[in-house]
Structure 1
Amino acid sequence: MSAIAGLDDETVRSMAVGSIFDDYVGKISCLDFHRTEDLLITSCEDDSIRLYNITNATLLKMTYHKKHGADRVCFTHHPNSILCSSRYDLESTESLRYLSMYDNRCLRYFKGHKERVVSLCMSPINDSFMSGSLDHSVRLWDLRVNACQGIMRLRGRPTVAYDQQGLVFAVAMEGGAIKLFDSRSYDKGPFDTFLVGGDTAEVCDIKFSNDGKSMLLTTTNNNIYVLDAYGGEKRCGFSLEPSPNLTSEATFTPDGQYVVSGSGDGTLHAWNINKRSEVACWNSYIGVVTCLKWAPRRAMFATASTVLTFWIPNQSKLNEECSTAEAGHGG
């Protein structure tokens, strides 16, 4: 599988299923790529956490977490260590765990949230991480300390994300408001607030592009928006087919030029955000996709429902497209 170079419409259009993992029992809750290693982690309703090598599409490790369950997952900086939110007994149990996949050990518990954690992200530059819960709080933590380092009470379903430089984090709350904080002095309050004009649906996912210039929002009413991360202006927006009780996830490509998302009718879509146009539409082959992320350093993305699929460029299709383009150009 090739390392990422410049993506273009033809390469994105050529993406096709390279590997399928259909041995899950239940819906896959979450997936995350490691920032610097070729690894993917998934969590599932069957209480499993699975670690994959994405260069050769192999399962490296599978652990079960029957006591707490496995809901949201994300990598820490160490390739064998992850954060995982609990699914069961949230009133009385540890809502977050810091786990070693190497020896299946819990390195630390984090107590505080009283309801399900719906957003979890690790700082790209240090040991800080954030969690947003249906108990209407966002908590800030440090991997090295059990106690919560900071808490924000807010209305609505909170969603959190760090920018790729770790200097800023975004919190989405009721009414589609996005507040930006300086991660070094968040206690001073937000330095900016954006509103997605005309859409008051709750934001269920936020991602920053790698260059920090754009922000990708997915809302609970199946709209996707790309905002300018500095001024909050809407660069483009796309609507998807709804799917009852399911929210889709969208992702930037590593160059920030394309957005890929699932839709409620079981299709996948890719848009060129500079041209504001759709460049590809695929059958997902696995029904409605609930988790979707593009690998940080590869021409590859992963999608999940009750099945996990890896998508890579189909070289023969790509060669065919290039030949057609050249023939057209020659004519």
Structure 2
Amino acid sequence: MLPMELTDEVLKSMEVGMAFRDYNGRISSMDFHRAASYLVTASDDESIRLYDVQNGMCLKTINSKKYGVDLVCFTDHPTTVIYSSKNGWDESLRHLSLNDNKYLRYFKGHHDRVVSLSLCPRKEFFVSGSLDRTVLLWDQRTEKSQGLLRVQGRPAVSYDDQGMVFAIAYGGCIRMFDARKYEKGPFDIFSVGGDMSDANVLKFSNDSRLMLLTTSDGFIHVVDSFRGTLISTYNVKPVSSHATLEASFSPDGMFIVSGSGDGSVCAFSVRSGKVACWGSTDSEPPLIKWAPGSLIELEILNVKGRVWIQKTRK
């Protein structure tokens, strides 16, 4: 069977293929495992859920009543995650085994809500950005942070696909760091066209050639990660100060799907602009993730505590 090529027409043909409605609150975060067919979600109902996406099954639900849960990311292992709390009194990050619901390690250092979290794809490192205006660098094997960078705004952070570079966005610019020499400061700084609103989400494409940055004013900026050239900027409805504008590259890096402040989902071609838009009666911006390596499974999105899987029509 030949792999499907993603085109404008294929993207427009996508429709809801499966829905999970087993939530009692808004979904705040989700992540696909890079290798296994697993999805993990975090919800305002203080739960973490593990899904087998290929078979359409919820494998496990774990409650985090004491700490709450906000952001969640897989480690290399498909049944361990790192997540941030959402209780307002303990901003530690936690390394959790989903198999036996045991904490493997606590990472303490932030003093306000963690708003951005990115794990290194090649090593046991990760980086976190907080409203306390710090970015901390961590090694999963030790509780103390390995480095601290101070920022002048809400930070969005991301590792590239090789784990050699990480980027921090705030204040209208993306700052590029060599992961081995981060203490020397950024080796390059890219402007995103004068957009000074809060950075929300920063991501590299799978081949690390492009970056996308979303901001609270509803902008999605696409930047050449080598030259720093601003390739394109798309605009959706702005989001409120407590919300996050989520967006995701397709596996081939040629398309972007994005939420919007009016609850809709928009798709853009990096080459030619807007391709499609799916409306919603919800006013919360949906979360968007594209399954790694899959051109058929477009995205998982959150609408009032539901998870949807969109697929191409047969």
- Bucket of the pairwise TM-score, normalised by the shorter protein: over 0.9
Partner of 1:254: 251
Are the equivalent residues in 1 in contact too, given 2:91–2:114 (CA < 8 A)?
Answer: no
Partner of 2:80: 81
Segments of 5+ residues of structure 2 without an aligned counterpart are none
Aligned-partner Cα distance in 1 for 2:121–2:12: 30
Aligned to 1:188: 184
SS of aligned partner of 1:148: coil
- Once the two structures are superposed, what CA deviation does each residue of 1:1-43 show, in whole Å capped at 9, x if it has no partner? x996431112111111111122211211101110111111000
Q: Within 5 Å, which residues of 2 pair with 1:215-226?
A: 215-226=211-222
Summarize the alignment of residues 21-170 of structure 1 with structure 2, pairs less than 5 Å apart. 21-90=20-89, 93=90, 95-170=92-167
1:124, 1:34 → 2: CA distance?
11
Larger radius of gyration: 1
How far does the alpha carbon of each residue in 1:214-241 deviate from its partner, in whole angstroms, 9 at most, with x for none? 1001001111111111121111111112
Equivalent residue, structure 1, for 2:229: 233
Asked if structure 2 preserves the Cα contact closer than 8 Å seen for 1:286 and 1:307, the reply is no
Q: Secondary structure at the match of 2:289?
A: strand
> Displacement, 1:89?
4.3
Aligned-partner Cα distance in 2 for 1:22–1:289: 18
Does 1:12 pair with 2:8?
no
CA contact (8 A) 1:86 1:96 kept: yes
Tell me how many residue pairs correspond in the alignment: 310
Name the structure with the higher helix share. 1
Correspondent of 2:300 among 282, 289, 302: 302
**Equivalent residue number for residue 199 of structure 2:** 203
Q: What is the distance in 1 between the residues matched to 2:24 and 2:51?
A: 17
Equivalent residue letter for 1:214:
L
Write the letter of the residue equivalent to 1:107.
Answer: L
Contact 1:259 1:272 in 2 (8 A): yes
Match of 1:325 in 2: none
TM-score, scaled to structure 1: 0.90
Deviations 1:22-67 (A, max 9, x none): 2211211101110111111000111100011111221010000011
3-state SS, counterpart of residue 183 of structure 2: helix
Alpha-carbon shift at residue 95 of structure 1 (Å):
1.0
Counterpart-to-counterpart distance in 1, 2:2 and 2:291: 10
Identity of aligned residues (%): 46
Deviations 1:83-123 (A, max 9, x none): 01011243xx3610000001111000011111110001110
Distance 1:3 1:33, change over 3 A: farther
Question: Does the CA contact (< 8 Å) of 2:239 and 2:285 recur in 1?
Answer: no
* Conserved? CA contact 1:177–1:195, under 8 Å: yes
